[in-house]
Amino acid sequence: YHQRTRSRVRGRRIHGKLAPYCKRLTVIDVVPRAIARTRQRMKESSHINWIVADVRQFSTQQLFDLIVVAEVLYYLEDVAAIRTAVHNLVSMLAPSGHMVFGSAIDANCRRWGHVAGTETVIAMLNETLIEVEQ
């Protein structure tokens, strides 16, 4: 893969596993401290682009061949905000690209005080993408 993006770094180490296989890796988080901490741990790799941004408003002309979104969307305040984020992420996916999505199930997310989880987001993703594997 030539370009990859990772959304939300807090508590995750997937970008460290992806980095050796990428020519370019974009890491996005809304929390500056999370970016700084992860950037320091990664020892300043020149092919990683670190961005502090909200996944709903992040914009780029680039198209990514892989987008990984794990344990992030349930933090948004409502289903409309989740839908906005999903549409934004899908718009940055290359035509032959893949999206890897991970989340707790709806019931667990609601128990934790969040509005939605896996089932809700998968339904949104299925509106525009083809599910390959679950």
47/55 Cα distance (integer angstroms): 21
Two tokens, residue 86? 């999903």
Beta-bridge partner residues of 50? 27
Q: Distance between terminal CA atoms of the chain? A: 21
| 123 vs 117: CA distance, rounded Å | 10
pLDDT in the model for residue 117: 94
Burial tier of 94 (Cβ tally within 10 Å: 0-12, 13-18, 19+): middle
Per the CB < 8 A criterion, the answer to whether 69 and 90 are in contact is no
47: left (phi over 0), alpha (psi -120 to 50) or beta: alpha
Domain CATH number, residue 72:
3.40.50.150
Asked, for residue 109, whether it belongs to a domain, the answer is yes
Q: Indicate the number of domains in the chain.
A: 2
Look at residue 26 and tell me if it is in a domain: yes
pLDDT value of position 1: 33
Q: Does 71 lie in the same domain as 19? A: no
Classify residue 4: in a domain, yes or no. no
Both 117 and 99 in one domain: the answer is yes
pLDDT at 48: 84
Q: What's the domain range around 46?
A: 12-52
26 and 79 inside one domain: no
Nearest Cα residue to 47 out of 65, 66, 21: 21
Per-residue pLDDT of the chain (134 residues; tens, 9 = 90+): 334 444 444 435 666 677 777 788 888 888 898 888 888 877 767 788 888 998 888 888 889 998 988 888 998 999 999 999 999 999 999 999 999 898 999 999 999 999 999 999 999 999 999 888 87
Does pTM top 0.75 for this prediction? yes
The pLDDT, as a whole number, for residue 14 is 62
